[in-house]
């Protein structure tokens, strides 16, 4: 495969990737379908912002956000059913059940651990140690500015954590299972080893003081923008949207089987971070995964970082101290940071 | 084939000698689809061969019985839910059916998943109790924090002009969740319930889809 040069890199030499916006798929169907799947994303973003901006205090609480999110997920699942981006990504019962398991792990086990060693606990410890005052002037900014700042600061942290995961082997081991997904669906963002889910959830947003409503607004931006990165729905995404925001198209390039393509589009919500730091590749891909699309089951996902870490350590120690022919069989499978 | 789906015959299903007359319906799916009586067993198997010709699937035919087992099937594998199975043709009078007896790791896992999440719910409750036992020290420090009255936050004039509701006075806030602890078992209860639903849907949907796919495959002539 020839691939396409993007900057200094050749994208699509190992597996098919459509580079650029000229040749990506469009919504097929009648005028109503065209209209709905062209305007759905921006309308929902502005509706969510409007709701959280004006909702009275008794309604603007976390439990409302959880209820809305649940209904929203059901709606997006329906959209996947009605207008899939690729038939080869169609959600099956087993895939849905598998994804639900990872979502559940994130909601329960990871959440419980996070309460003790997550970013909230770390920030409290740092602030306690140095007796820093919070950046309280932030609360005087207009709400939408605060919300965009929260969202962008969190995404900035995610961008670098994600990029580090693709470039530093120990972190890559935690992230690799997520790259064994062979199709994108709405809950696929939760698929991965719990260590990774914990690491990617770390943020520095808690250092700053924002109004509670600004957090809810930032959540609304995440819910109506970041969520699409793993969706299997064909949208005619507006040009301004895909310039600023991450899209399912960008993220499918990131999950492609092409090694160079996976080393792009690291951000969660704001693709503008990738544009700034030179890692953005516009386009889309259908063929996803690692090792020719081998699916990784739940059991292997849970042990993978530890198993491969142990094998690599053993091999490294054998090379350093053992040497000789005996060390050859300890060489781990070649698992380079692929994304 | 070995294990749960190993000893399958027209009689009572067994697992390693133990009779499991009902309980194995949790993870096993048995049934039949009608076939053209003119078809031999080999011809019927040849027609469903495309369904089985997938990555990680081992197929064997012996004495008119087809057995298969799958190792980690692909997401789009049409039989992904049923990781092992046995199929054979049975003739009764002028008619004939293709009988199947399949085993599903996925159904069994979904059936057991609520237990895992109920376990997490219990863990949350236990952690809350454990934290409450250390409450004295934390309460003292909390009181210290409470002594400082929190200032009421003001909205930016732009937001006042646009009519956003003003933030609440934090000192008026009631500490409603004080006794509940910081770990909520509710999410785990929700997941346990969700998996019960997923199981019930899957136990009905997957056999239905299986029959539909088998019928469709059997209706098509064998690709030569």
Per run of 10 residues, the mean pLDDT along chain A (length 339 residues) is 86 92 92 95 96 91 88 95 95 96 91 79 66 66 92 91 94 96 94 89 68 88 92 95 95 95 94 96 95 91 95 92 57 47
Of B50, B40, B39, B41, give the one whose Cα is nearest residue B224.
B50
Tell whether B163 is within 8 A of chain A (Cβ).
yes
Of A47, A41, A43, A39, give the one whose Cα is nearest residue A217.
A47
Predicted pLDDT of residue A134: 56
DSSP designation for B166: P
Q: Are B172 and B153 in contact (CB under 8 A)?
A: no
Residue A287 in tokens = 């063929």
Distance from the Cα of B84 to chain A's closest Cα (Å) equals 15
Residues of B whose CB is below 8 A from A297: 72
Where do the domains of chain A lie?
38-235+296-330
Contact A88 B113 (CB under 8 A): no
Predicted pLDDT of residue A62: 82
CA pair distance A326, A318, nearest whole angstrom: 8
Distance from the Cα of B38 to chain A's closest Cα (Å) equals 34
Question: Backbone dihedral region of A7: left (phi > 0), alpha (psi from -120 to 50 degrees) or beta?
Answer: left
Residue B110 has pLDDT above 80, yes or no: yes
Q: Are B206 and B104 in contact (CB under 8 A)?
A: yes
Q: Are A256 and A287 in contact (CB under 8 A)?
A: yes
Cβ neighbours around A148 below 10 Å, total: 17
Residue of A nearest to B202 (CA): A93
Specify burial of residue A114 (Cβ count, 10 A radius: 0-12, 13-18, 19+): middle
Tell whether B42 is within 8 A of chain A (Cβ).
no
Predicted pLDDT of residue B183: 85
* A 138-157 residues with CB < 8 A to B: 139-143
Which residues are within 8 A (CB) of A119 and not within 5 positions of it... i.e. 6 or more apart?
A201, A202, A203, A204, A205, A206
CA pair distance A46, A318, nearest whole angstrom: 58
Tell whether A212 is within 8 A of chain B (Cβ).
yes
Of A100, A108, A212, the CB nearest to B188: A108
Residue of B nearest to A137 (CA): B153
CA pair distance A137, A134, nearest whole angstrom: 9
Contact B76 A104 (CB under 8 A): no
CA pair distance A153, A266, nearest whole angstrom: 14
Predicted pLDDT of residue B5: 41
pLDDT in tens, B129-182: 888 888 766 565 555 555 556 667 788 888 888 988 888 776 665 555 555 678
Specify burial of residue B223 (Cβ count, 10 A radius: 0-12, 13-18, 19+): exposed
Of B81, B117, B153, the CB nearest to A139: B153
Distance from the Cα of A100 to chain B's closest Cα (Å) equals 8
Tell whether B108 is within 8 A of chain A (Cβ).
no
Chain CA centroid to CA B196, Å: 8
Contact A294 B168 (CB under 8 A): no
Residue B192 has pLDDT above 90, yes or no: yes
List domains and CATH numbers for chain B: 14-105+205-219 (3.30.310)
Per-residue exposure over A149-186, b if at least 16 CB sit within 10 Å of its own CB, e if not: bbbbbbbbbbbebbbbbbeeeebbbbbbbbbbbbbbbb
Residue of B nearest to A66 (CA): B187
Q: Measured between alpha carbons, how far is residue B140 from residues A85, A323, B135, B136, B177 in Å?
A: 56, 59, 8, 6, 17
Residue B2 in tokens = 């070995």
Which residues are within 8 A (CB) of B43 and not within 5 positions of it... i.e. 6 or more apart?
B222
Predicted pLDDT of residue B11: 44
pLDDT in tens, B60-107: 998 889 999 998 899 999 999 999 999 999 998 889 999 999 999 999
Distance from the Cα of A42 to chain B's closest Cα (Å) equals 21
Percent helix / strand / coil, chain B, rounded to 5: 45, 20, 35
DSSP designation for A201: T
Q: What ipTM does the predicted assembly reach?
A: 0.86
Chain CA centroid to CA B1, Å: 24
Contact B76 A92 (CB under 8 A): yes
Of A88, A109, A141, the CB nearest to B120: A109
Residues of B whose CB is below 8 A from A143: 155-156, 159, 164
Contact A93 B194 (CB under 8 A): no
Predicted pLDDT of residue A205: 58
Which residues are within 8 A (CB) of A289 and not within 5 positions of it... i.e. 6 or more apart?
A179, A180, A181, A182, A255, A257, A295
Tell whether A55 is within 8 A of chain B (Cβ).
yes
Distance from the Cα of B223 to chain A's closest Cα (Å) equals 23
Predicted pLDDT of residue B9: 45
- Read off the pTM: 0.87
Q: Are B89 and B99 in contact (CB under 8 A)?
A: yes
How long is chain A? 339
Distance from the Cα of B108 to chain A's closest Cα (Å) equals 12
Residue of B nearest to A111 (CA): B183
Q: Are A191 and A181 in contact (CB under 8 A)?
A: yes
Percent helix / strand / coil, chain A, rounded to 5: 65, 5, 30
pLDDT in tens, A115-155: 887 777 776 676 666 555 556 677 888 999 999 998 999 89
Tell whether B125 is within 8 A of chain A (Cβ).
no
Bridge partners, A283 (sequence order) = A19
SS3 letters across B81-108: CCCEEEEEEEEECCEEEEEEEEECHHHH
């Amino acid at each position: 495969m020839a691939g396409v040069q993007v900057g200094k890199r050749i994208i699509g030499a190992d597996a098919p990737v459509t580079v650029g916006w000229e040749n990506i798929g469009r919504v097929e169907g009648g005028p109503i379908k065209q209209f709905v799947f062209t305007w759905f994303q921006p309308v929902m973003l502005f509706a969510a912002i409007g709701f959280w901006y004006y909702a009275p205090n008794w309604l603007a609480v976390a439990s409302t956000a959880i209820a809305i999110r649940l209904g929203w997920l059901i709606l997006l699942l329906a959209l996947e059913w009605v207008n899939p981006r690729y038939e080869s990504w169609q959600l099956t019962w087993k895939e849905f059940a598998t994804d639900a398991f990872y979502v559940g792990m994130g909601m329960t086990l990871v959440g419980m651990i996070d309460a003790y060693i997550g970013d909230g606990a770390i920030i409290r410890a740092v602030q306690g140690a140095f007796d820093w005052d919070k950046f309280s002037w932030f609360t005087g900014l207009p709400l939408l500015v605060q919300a965009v700042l929260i969202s962008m600061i969190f995404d900035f942290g995610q961008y670098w954590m994600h990029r580090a995961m693709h470039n530093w082997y120990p972190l890559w081991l935690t992230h690799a299972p997520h790259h064994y997904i062979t199709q994108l669906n709405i809950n696929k963002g939760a698929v991965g080893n719990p260590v990774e889910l914990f690491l990617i959830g770390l943020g520095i947003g808690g250092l700053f003081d924002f109004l509670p409503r600004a957090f809810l607004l930032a959540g609304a931006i995440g819910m109506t923008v970041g969520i699409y990165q793993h969706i299997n729905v064909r949208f005619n995404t507006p040009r301004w949207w895909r310039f600023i925001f991450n899209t399912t198209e960008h993220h499918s390039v990131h999950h492609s089987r092409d090694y160079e393509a996976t080393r792009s589009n690291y951000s969660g919500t704001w693709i503008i971070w990738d544009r700034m730091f030179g890692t953005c590749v516009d386009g889309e891909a259908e063929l996803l995964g690692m090792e020719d699309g081998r699916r990784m089951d739940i059991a292997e996902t849970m042990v993978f970082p530890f198993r491969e870490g142990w094998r690599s350590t053993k091999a490294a120690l054998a090379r350093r101290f053992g040497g000789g022919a005996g060390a050859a069989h300890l060489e781990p499978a070649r698992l380079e940071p692929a994304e | 084939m070995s294990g749960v789906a190993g000893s399958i015959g027209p009689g009572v299903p067994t697992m390693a000698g133990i009779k499991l007359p009902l309980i194995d319906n949790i993870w096993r799916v048995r049934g039949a689809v009608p076939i053209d009586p003119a078809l031999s067993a080999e011809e019927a198997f040849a027609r469903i061969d495309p369904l089985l010709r997938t990555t990680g699937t081992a197929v064997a035919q012996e004495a008119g019985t087809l057995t298969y087992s799958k190792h980690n099937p692909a997401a789009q594998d049409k039989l992904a839910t049923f990781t092992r199975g046995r199929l054979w043709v049975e003739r009764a009078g002028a008619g004939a059916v293709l009988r199947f007896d399949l085993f599903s790791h996925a159904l069994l896992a979904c059936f057991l998943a609520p237990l895992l999440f109920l376990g997490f719910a219990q863990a949350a409750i236990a952690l809350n109790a454990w934290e409450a036992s250390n409450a004295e020290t934390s309460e003292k420090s909390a009181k210290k924090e409470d002594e400082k009255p929190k200032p009421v936050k003001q909205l930016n004039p732009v937001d006042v002009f646009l009519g956003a509701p003003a933030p609440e006075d934090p000192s008026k806030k009631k500490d409603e969740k004080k006794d509940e602890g910081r770990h909520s078992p509710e999410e785990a209860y929700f997941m346990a319930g969700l998996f019960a639903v997923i199981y019930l849907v899957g136990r009905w949907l997957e056999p239905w889809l299986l029959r539909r796919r088998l019928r469709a495959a059997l209706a098509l002539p064998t690709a030569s």
